[in-house]
Amino acid sequence: MNKVMKKIKVTNLKKLPSNGGSVMHALKSSEQSFSKFGEAYFSLLESGTIRAWKYHTRMISNIIVPYGSIKFVFYEDDVFKEIIAGENNYIRITIPPKIWFGFMCVSKKKSFLLNIANILHDDSEVINKDVKEFNYDWTN
């Protein structure tokens, strides 16, 4: 396992059947992945949409994909690591600061991403690079 994957934590989440749908857990304050609450936001991604590359200097992201399917790609030391999250792999990905990552909607339908972050969004703590900046083939 490379260094980047030792830093990222993947947590299986529960889906509880309910009348007319499901209750889907996201994050509890009692869990180890929780540090503090800064903000929560949703991102909607159309099929094939790529958002890359990001590097947070302070933010811890707790990412959940309750609808659709999104491939997350992490980069460190010339190594890429992929994790697919979504309806068929309902997990929370906890991404500490100082890791390059990007993501792509890999389902044919729209996908929703929820990020529960430990700090408020701050443009001065995030570095963004163009999708072509790293030599990664998003088509596979």
Q: Is residue 140 part of a domain?
A: no
Q: How many domains does the chain have?
A: 1
Q: What is the pLDDT of residues 74-131, one digit of tens each?
A: 998 889 999 999 999 999 999 999 999 999 999 999 999 999 999 999 999 999 999 9
- Torsion over CA: 58, 45, 67, 100 (sign): negative
Q: Is residue 57 a contact partner of residue 50, using CB atoms and an 8 Å limit?
A: no
Give the integer Cα–Cα distance in Å for 85 and 64.
Answer: 7
Q: Is residue 120 part of a domain?
A: yes
Q: What is the pTM of this model?
A: 0.91
Structure tokens at 65: 């994909």
- The tens digit of pLDDT for each residue in 35-55 reads 889 999 999 999 999 999 999
Region 4-8 average pLDDT: 78
Is 138 among the domain residues? Answer: no
Please check whether residue 139 lies inside any domain of the structure: no
